Amino acid sequence: MSSHSPLILLVGPTAVGKTAIAIQLAHLLHGEIISADSRLFYRGMDIGTAKPTPLEQQLIPHHLIDIVNPDQTLSLAAFQQLARQAVAQVEERGKLPLLVGGTGQYVRAVTQGWKPPEVTPDARLRAELEKLKEQRGGTWLHERLQALDPPAAADIDPRNIRRTIRALEVILSSGRRFSEQRTHGESPYRLITVGLLRPRPELYARIDARIEAMFAAGLVDEVRRLLGLGYGPDLPSMSAIGYRECVRIVRGKMTVEQAKAEMRRATRIYVRRQANWFKESDPLIRWFNAGDPEVDEAIAIFVRESLHE
């Protein structure tokens, strides 16, 4: 048995039900939740990210939610450090840490000991890449990354311009692939990984219902307020699904129904990307059907047995 401290990892696609099940698990296992969902970092972005409600956050302590403003960035290295600090603090309180999320690179940065490439930022090169983004668009930049380093392009969402530019900067500065320079160290944890699944038609129906609920809860007003506070649509945070579509609604470039259709389409694509990070064939992940009536109890039994192996 590993001497490393245990860390429960709960993964699964968006809308599968991670938030509710994580809260039940934390209650059953005397644990606390650490978010590894990059969309939940931002203050004031609540409806469009399906952030746990204040009541849900009161039921069980949550960490790494609402930690930066929408115009701030949180690097992978900074998140890794914050997450590991949170895990240590949870352990010090005698609780069991549960790392919960659907953002693959953030999960792996914490659990697999990822070390970002050590290439000094090049302000001149970065400015040139930013200029190319303005001239040709973020999609063109991501296509360039795909041509130079397919593995890195597969790991970076095309909408994440900041990470795309950083990967290109590393490649062009060093002459080596970005993916080859990101090293993996030994995991500092004894990982117990739980995956949540639903049949794809059921998952898509939940996504559609969530989108409807977001609009009913005031998503357009949330975006209008963020814009009014000076958070521009070009910010990485505002490029998230739901926010970019609502910006277009506010500016009269898209109807609500068009926005909903685009959000449904984009979220299905995102679900497929998430499936590439956490595969059903992975022998290190124990998968459960999130729709089973007593799934939280079944997962708790599995975790307890794993802790005592």
pLDDT tens digit string along 251-274? 999 999 999 999 999 999 999 888
Last residue of some domain: 139, 164, 181?
181
Residues 109 and 217 grouped into a single domain:
yes
pLDDT in tens, 137-167: 888 999 999 999 988 888 787 877 888 998 8
Residues 95 and 165 grouped into a single domain:
no
pLDDT exceeds 80 at position 21 = yes
Residues 130 and 155 grouped into a single domain:
yes
Residues 231 and 276 grouped into a single domain:
yes
- What's residue 116's pLDDT? 65
- What's residue 144's pLDDT? 93
Last residue of some domain: 181, 200, 223?
181
CATH number reported for the structural domain that contains residue 193 in this entry: 3.40.50.300
Residues 254 and 241 grouped into a single domain:
yes
Q: What is the mean pLDDT of residues 52-81?
A: 93
Q: What is the mean pLDDT of residues 235-245?
A: 93
Residues 235 and 299 grouped into a single domain:
yes
Q: Where in the sequence is the domain holding 88, given as residue range(s)?
A: 5-115+184-307
Residues 148 and 267 grouped into a single domain:
no
Specify the DSSP element, H or E, that contains 196: strand 189-197
pLDDT exceeds 70 at position 182 = no
Find the Cα–Cα–Cα–Cα dihedral 261, 267, 269, 270, rounded to 10°.
160
What is the tally of structural domains in the chain?
A: 2
What gap in Å lies between CA 299 and CA 78, rounded to an integer?
31
CATH number reported for the structural domain that contains residue 155 in this entry: 1.10.20.140
Task: Choose the weakest-confidence range: 29-43, 46-60, 185-199, 253-267.
Answer: 185-199
| 233 close to 244: Cβ distance less than 8 angstroms | yes
Q: What is the mean pLDDT of residues 5-17?
A: 96
How high is the mean pLDDT of the chain? 91
pLDDT exceeds 80 at position 114 = no
pLDDT exceeds 60 at position 128 = yes
- What's residue 102's pLDDT? 73
Residues 28 and 40 grouped into a single domain:
yes
Helices (H), the chain: 18-29, 54-59, 76-92, 104-111, 123-136, 138-148, 150-155, 161-174, 178-181, 200-217, 219-228, 243-250, 256-277, 295-307
What gap in Å lies between CA 161 and CA 132, rounded to an integer?
11
What gap in Å lies between CA 178 and CA 118, rounded to an integer?
10
Q: What is the mean pLDDT of residues 189-211?
A: 96
Residues 9 and 85 grouped into a single domain:
yes
Residue with tokens 């698990």: 25
Residues 192 and 55 grouped into a single domain:
yes
Q: What is the mean pLDDT of residues 126-144?
A: 90
Using alpha carbons, list the distances in angstroms from residue 39 to 61, 74, 183. Answer: 18, 11, 25
Last residue of some domain: 142, 157, 181?
181
Task: Choose the weakest-confidence range: 3-7, 34-38, 145-149.
Answer: 3-7
Percent of residues, the chain, with pLDDT higher than 70:
96
Residues 102 and 74 grouped into a single domain:
yes
Q: What is the mean pLDDT of residues 19-38?
A: 96
Residues 154 and 278 grouped into a single domain:
no
Task: Choose the weakest-confidence range: 49-53, 182-186, 299-303.
Answer: 182-186
